[in-house]
């Protein structure tokens, strides 16, 4: 449960040692594939039971297709289920591309913290000081928003002023709904403002920056924040709750809040290397990422899970029954996603689904792979906008 910030800071240093010494799971590229292609390993024993439980959870909620990457207890495995699009024959394999939705934000947070370590960005300097955005120009409160406020969702901005797919977003004024820095409210706009500021600072567009700072470093060859027409045939289609395929979406420009397209294998590499091992970050910066920075209690969306959830710098933190987890969820139309990491052991799970029904599978999948117990992060995520 939530405790005083100073005690949590001490806990963070214990869980995420500054020396960077970890009991390493196997390298992410050593994954064994189950159900992912004709070349997949035929599962037996525990692996067969997990594959069946994973597929049963997807079938029970009519999820057409899913990928799951798991690391822990000395093994690394990738599981695939179903089809890329309902009514089509193309099976989900290890190269099928899914929208990661808000799992995108964690990649953005990592990039921002890389810039902090390089001295290019200060967490508590107003973003306006780096880049006078026309979206914040006429609002004194918006001009006080900092990188820390964007990362811990205390910017006061709504999730979106207008649809993030609308090209007019870059001309739409930002209006905080409360004094920035005073409380939590989940906001994609805060991350997008931070992205645009970073693009200005570095002189690089977001997808180029992500490729240089993350994808190439973390062995994520199939990941992109923009749609690549050359791999259009590998994309999964999203589905409504009744199984109807959603129109395929084209991401014409990168948005760190929601446009990442990836595979479970790629994102699992990111979780293992960037988050668990802290590659590319100063140890103190990685520790700060996983230290509670806001209480994640939005009075507009109260939840019984609130006492067990806090927010770090770009990631959710779950503390329940003596076990701490780092996590995030993703929620795009027709695509739902989740990752969870035990930062003490390195055990992790990445789940990508192509259905509105994906969240109904989370608890069963977590129990199967991460162990029985309570997962209030799932309940908390369902109340967010």
Side-chain-facing half-sphere of 56: CA atoms under 13 Å? 10
Provide the 3-class DSSP secondary structure of residue 123. Answer: coil
Residue 358's nearest CA partner among 332, 319, 384 is 332
Mean pLDDT, residues 18-44: 63
The distance in angstroms from the start CA to the end CA of the chain is: 23
Decide if pLDDT at 10 tops 60. Answer: no
Mean pLDDT, residues 274-295: 98
Question: Which has the higher per-residue pLDDT, 37 or 24?
Answer: 37
Decide if pLDDT at 212 tops 70. Answer: yes
Q: How far apart are CA 31 and CA 307, in angstroms?
A: 36
DSSP H or E stretch at residue 195: helix 188-202
> Tens digit of pLDDT for each residue in 127-149?
999 999 999 999 999 999 999 99
Secondary structure percentages of the chain, helix, strand, coil, to 5: 35, 15, 50
> Tens digit of pLDDT for each residue in 213-231?
999 999 999 999 999 999 9
**pLDDT band at 5, cuts 50/70/90?**
very low
The CATH code that applies to domain 5-108+207-381 is 3.40.710.10
Decide if pLDDT at 17 tops 60. Answer: no
Residue 184 near residue 311, CB atoms below 8 Å: yes
**pLDDT band at 295, cuts 50/70/90?**
very high
Q: How far apart are CA 141 and CA 129, in angstroms?
A: 13
> Can you give the pLDDT at residue 2?
52
Residue 262's nearest CA partner among 105, 108, 110, 96 is 96
> Can you give the pLDDT at residue 73?
85
Decide if pLDDT at 246 tops 90. Answer: yes
Sign of the C-alpha dihedral computed for residues 68, 350, 187 and 225 taken in this order: negative
**What pTM was estimated for this model as a whole?**
0.92
**pLDDT band at 75, cuts 50/70/90?**
confident
Decide if pLDDT at 67 tops 50. Answer: yes
CA distances from 370 to 6, 70, 103, 345 (A): 29, 9, 19, 11
> Tens digit of pLDDT for each residue in 250-276?
999 999 999 999 999 999 999 999 999
Q: What is the mean pLDDT of the chain?
A: 92
Q: Report which DSSP code applies to 307.
A: G
Q: Which of 2-11, 80-89, 182-191 has the lowest mean pLDDT?
A: 2-11
> Can you give the pLDDT at residue 120?
98
Domain layout of the chain by residue ranges: 5-108+207-381
């Amino acid at each position: 449960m939530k405790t005083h910030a100073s005690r949590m800071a001490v806990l963070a240093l214990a869980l995420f040692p500054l020396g960077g010494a970890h009991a390493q799971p196997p390298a992410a590229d050593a994954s064994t594939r189950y159900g992912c292609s004709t070349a997949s390993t035929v599962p037996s024993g525990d692996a067969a039971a997990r594959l069946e439980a994973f597929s049963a959870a997807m079938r029970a909620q009519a999820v057409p297709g899913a990928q799951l990457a798991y690391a822990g207890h000395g093994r690394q495995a990738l599981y695939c289920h179903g089809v890329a699009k309902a009514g089509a024959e193309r099976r989900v394999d290890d190269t099928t591309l899914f929208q990661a939705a808000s799992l995108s934000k964690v990649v953005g947070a990592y990039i921002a913290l890389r810039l902090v370590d390089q001295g290019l960005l200060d967490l508590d300097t107003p973003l306006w000081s780096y880049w006078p955005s026309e979206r914040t120009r006429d609002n004194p409160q918006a001009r006080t928003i900092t990188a820390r406020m964007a990362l811990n969702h205390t910017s006061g901005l709504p999730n979106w002023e207008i649809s993030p797919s609308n090209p007019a977003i870059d001309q739409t004024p930002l209006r905080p709904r409360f004094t920035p820095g005073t409380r939590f409210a989940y906001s994609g706009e805060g991350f997008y403002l931070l992205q645009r500021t970073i693009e200005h600072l570095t002189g690089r567009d977001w997808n180029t920056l992500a490729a240089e700072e993350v994808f190439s470093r973390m062995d994520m060859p199939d990941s992109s924040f923009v749609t690549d027409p050359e791999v259009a045939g590998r994309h999964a289609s999203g589905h409504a709750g009744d199984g109807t395929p959603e129109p395929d979406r084209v991401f014409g420009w990168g948005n760190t809040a929601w446009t990442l397209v990836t595979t479970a294998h790629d994102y699992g590499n990111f979780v293992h290397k960037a988050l668990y091992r802290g590659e590319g970050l100063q140890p103190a910066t990685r520790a700060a990422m996983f230290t509670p920075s806001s209480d994640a209690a939005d009075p507009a969306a109260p939840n019984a899970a609130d006492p067990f959830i806090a927010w770090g710098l770009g990631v959710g933190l779950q503390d329940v029954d003596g076990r701490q987890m780092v996590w995030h969820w993703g929620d795009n139309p027709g695509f739902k996603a989740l990752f969870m990491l035990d930062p003490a052991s390195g055990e992790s799970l990445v789940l990508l689904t192509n259905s509105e029904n994906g969240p109904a599978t989370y608890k069963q999948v977590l129990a199967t792979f991460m162990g029985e117990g309570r997962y209030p992060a799932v309940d908390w995520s369902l109340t967010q906008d």
